[in-house]
Structure 1
Amino acid sequence: MDALKALEVCGGAARRPALARLGVEDAALRRAVRAGVLQPDRGLYALPTAPPDLVAVLRNRELLTCSSAAAAYSLWSLPSDGRRHVYHRRQDAVCGDAVHHSGLLLPPSRLQPVAALADVLIHALRCLSFADSLVMVECAVTRGDMTVDFLRQRLPGHRNGRARAVLDWVDSGADSLLETLARTYFRKAGIEVQAQVYLERVGYVDLLLDGWLVVELDGRHHAEWKQVQKDHRRNNESVLQGYTALRYYYTDVVFRPQEMVAEVLAVLKRRR
């Protein structure tokens, strides 16, 4: 493979072994360097457009893991504090305020400095908050890339009790992290929740609570006017059929879940 193409496959920067796995020979690397490819460190090659964070991780021989590896596996994730979560054989070699994670079960990615998916999720379960780790794990489980049993078996003992408790709430079939979080918060409050329920002339609704309260969850695409009109018509039709409809947004679910649950409980209480 051409050296420039190989670097693009690796995200913009890579060490020599990763490039060799893609069939890049030493002569091709020398030509690439003469053509403008950078060498930030011995055995490390980078395009001029390579993300600085990626180059830093490779230079320090770290592996991204936990929330910092969510993007590499296209996992759902919540806003972070910006700190880098990494694995390194020596904790004292980790740079800056990065969060160090110890222990790997499986070989890391062959092309990028990223821990294996199982290790990423196990580190997240041990490190992150309930909501942060839940959405990452459920995304992988819903896609069929991971199973709850696989993770549970690798989290034995009392010290992993908090991590296993998160797994108790993992389900499958959610369309988004908003659905995962809202469904879980409502169930924790003792509410009967059905996800992705089909209603005649309405279509699939995100959540149906106690069999009559529809809860729809809006992401960014719902800001489009045509989508807003469609949503309003769906709400009207569900009300005509005897349902009550509530609608919540990203900020409601992620940043003010207690207020969202309180509003839902107030509505349910009136019918009960």
Structure 2
Amino acid sequence: MHTDWRTWTRAELTTEGMSRRAIRAAVDDGVLVRARRDRYLPSSAPADLIRAVRVGGRLTCLALLRLLEVFVVTGEGLHVHLPGNASRMRSPHDRFTPLRGRVSAGVVLHWLPLLRPLGTGDVCVDVVDALVHAVLCQPARHAVATLDSALHRGLVGASEIAEIFAALPAKYGIVRDLLDGRAESGSETLMRLMVRATGATYELQVVMRGIGRVDLVVDGWLVIECDSEEFHSSWRQQLKDRRRDLALAQRGYVTWRVTAAQIMYQPDEVAAGLRGLLASRRDGRISTGA
């Protein structure tokens, strides 16, 4: 995989032609960062990578996947893989004092043996290992969304997915059965899983002549669009969305727009809304709530 970031030892920097004085000057000038004893990185390296090296490990799991722009629901926590022979991690601060325990200062530690071997200068695990860790770290529905995202972005394929699940306990086979790399966003995956739970039929990424592609068509009549702030916040885009909704209505479809934030952080309310819509069609009526 990967990022091009790596650490250098003082000996490696010296081999590249830097004297000890030049190394000290590069650190003082902010060109290099001394992450920990005899481990240097360019100061332009992402902060999470530097922090992972600082505590004595390599970036993995949700923290690495966020960096690779793979979908994860949570936005917090530094996930670090430590080698199996490490009994403790170092301080995430600059004093290099050891810290005991599995979680400290927002750091989540991973100890599983890696599927993909790494070099001494690597600052993050392979994406395959990061995804194994991510499945173990998340609820099943979030793990499906993360793996869908990695598939859609082309970071892994069928052979890597097989490798990931071969390394996981058998109970995670249900997660594999739910994968679909056609989903263009994590919110689409989460919405698809809600639809599936109702027993309704659905189609993904349906292209309609004169309208374009829609996220989900449920039971042949309900179009669900999963809108993100990034792509749907401008007034110009909202006008375009309304024109699409009108064209769909003229063909007998009902459009339901749900924001990505609602899908991720208000799943119970969204699921209730979905059930209400499907029930109203089956009953031939709309409840007034009276």
* TM bin (shorter chain): 0.7 to 0.9
Note closer, same or farther for the CA distance 1:262–1:126 as it changes in structure 2 (3 Å cut). same
Deviation at 1:103, TM superposition (A): 1.4
Of the three residues 61, 66, 69, the one matched with 2:56 is 61
Counterpart-to-counterpart distance in 2, 1:63 and 1:79:
19
Aligned CA RMSD, in angstroms, stands at 2.9
Partner Cα separation in structure 2 for residue 225 and residue 164 of structure 1: 43
Q: Distance in 1 between matches of 2:272 and 2:244?
A: 24
**Would you say 1:16 and 2:9 are equivalent positions?**
yes
| Aligned residue type for 1:195 | L
Amino acid at match of 2:61: C
**Equivalent residues in 2 for 1:214-225, closer than 5 Å:** 214-220=223-229, 221-225=231-235
1:269 maps to 2:279: yes
Alignment correspondent of 1:123: 133
1:255 counterpart = 2:245: no
Distance 2:190 2:39 in 1: 41
Does structure 1 residue 84 correspond to structure 2 residue 74? Answer: no
Residue of structure 2 aligned with 1:34, choices 25, 44, 59: 25
Greater share of helix: 1
What is the TM-score with the length of structure 2 in the denominator? 0.77
Pair 1:171–1:161, CA change in 2 (3 A): same
Deviates more, 1:181-190 or 1:260-269: 260-269
Q: Which residue does the alignment assign to 1:182?
A: 191
How many angstroms apart in 2 are the aligned matches of 1:79 and 1:33? 38
Q: Where do residues 138-157 of structure 1 align in structure 2 (5 Å cutoff)?
A: 138-148=148-158, 150-152=160-162, 154-155=164-165
Q: More deviation in 129-138 or 168-177?
A: 129-138
- AA in 1 matched with 2:264: V
| Equivalence map 1:137-216=2 (5 Å) | 137-148=147-158, 150-152=160-162, 154-155=164-165, 160-216=169-225
Measured in 1, the distance between the counterparts of 2:249 and 2:119 equals: 50
- Say how many residue pairs are matched: 258
The 8 Å contact of residues 142 and 190 in structure 2, kept in 1 or not, is answered as no
Mean Cα deviation higher: 189-198 or 135-144: 135-144
Instruction: List alignment gaps of at least 5 residues for structure 1.
Output: 1-7
Q: 1:91 to 1:131 in 2, by over 3 A?
A: farther
> Deviation per CA, 1:180-218, whole angstroms, max 9, x where unpaired?
111122112212111111123221111100111111111
Aligned partner of 2:141: which letter?
Answer: A
Does the 8 Å contact 1:72/1:114 carry over to 2? no
| Residue number in structure 1 paired with 2:66 | 71
Task: Tell me: CA distance 1:175–1:52, structure 2 relative to 1, closer, same or farther (3 Å).
Answer: closer
Residues 67, 85 of structure 1: 8 Å contact kept: yes
The separation in 1 between residues aligned to 2:86 and 2:265, in whole angstroms, is 33
- TM-score between the two structures when normalised by the length of structure 1: 0.82
4+ residue runs over 6 A deviation? none
SS of equivalent residue, structure 2 residue 17: helix
